[in-house]
Amino acid sequence: MERKYLLHMMTAAKNLSPFDVNMAYDAGWEGCTPYTDVELAEVKDLVQDAIFSRGPKGVKRTGIFIGGRDAFLAIDMLELARKSMVPPFELSLFADPSGAFTTAAAMVACVDKQLKESPGSGLRGQTVAVFGGTGPVGSVAAILAAQAGAKVVIVSHHSREKADAVARLCGERYAVELTGADGSSGTAVEALVEQADVIFNAAKAGVRVVDAKQLAMARRLKVACDVNAVPPEGIEGLGVMDDARPLAGAPGAALGIGALVVGNVKYQTQHLLLKQMRESDTPQYLDFQQAFQVARTHVG
């Protein structure tokens, strides 16, 4: 009898996301076991318990998914899990905390595609403002956009200091140059919007970060992308189903990409990566970089 495909799902949070469990089963994993409140120091022992219990053949039908709410902690857990392997006892790993990696990858892939169709060179050389940039989705989107050649500003509605701290952390870990900005007032947002070629909104659901008055200042804007599916829209006038539709209220020919369009790409990306883990004959180590590659391929 062939061994089952087993996925061990770790999170530093109190609960594992039901979304991720559903996705794993739908991608063909036959057993999904949650491990909650996992600390970084516990990862090595959990990984080695998983790899040594099934033999070199069975370990190929075993995987570890890392969730949680902290993007950088998830990466640290992924790296520690990878270092805990003892060849030939090696299994596949996939980190996607709160869906942040696949969501950010989908956002950036959708915008990059649209910029290339303009025509143009994608994100390279564009000025990008990331609202909600201090959160997991926003910070990862900022890293990916910077790696694609954009000039990226992380915007915090709390303070410039918080934005600077996240920009510095991202820069130190991924060798990208990011700057922070204060988005706590209408005047500050207007100034940021006025200079932006691209706007990403990854702020908290149900919070409007750019209103019609501020959007009217976006004379350079080419594409705006919003992952907020909860009313009111994060960018006023940008609907959840908008798929590169003209953005009402913007003074130029800006296009809008809505939350459900991004969500579809995110869903497909996570599904494909979970299948890749299960179907590959070699260990897969998957984070937001691989998610971005898959998302770009999916959007064409």
Residues 220-269 have pLDDT tens digits of: 999 999 999 999 999 999 999 999 999 999 998 899 999 999 999 999 99
Closest by Cα among 282, 281, 274 to 101: 274
- Report d(CA 297, CA 291) in Å as an integer: 10
Question: 133-147 pLDDT, tens per residue?
Answer: 999 999 999 999 999
Residue range(s) of every CATH 3.40.50.720 domain in the chain: 103-262
Question: 170-226 pLDDT, tens per residue?
Answer: 999 999 999 999 999 999 999 999 999 999 999 999 999 999 999 999 999 999 999
- Report d(CA 1, CA 220) in Å as an integer: 62
Confidence of residue 1 (pLDDT cuts 50, 70, 90): low
- Report d(CA 22, CA 2) in Å as an integer: 23
Q: Which CATH number fits domain 6-99+265-299: 3.40.50.300, 3.40.50.10280, 2.102.10.10, 2.40.50.100?
A: 3.40.50.10280
- Report d(CA 144, CA 152) in Å as an integer: 10
Helix 71-83, helix 43-52: angle, nearest 10: 50
Closest by Cα among 269, 260, 268, 265 to 230: 260
Question: 48-84 pLDDT, tens per residue?
Answer: 999 999 888 889 999 999 999 999 999 999 999 999 9
- Domain with residues 103-262, CATH architecture: 3-Layer(aba) Sandwich (3.40)
pTM > 0.85: yes or no? yes
- Report d(CA 118, CA 113) in Å as an integer: 9
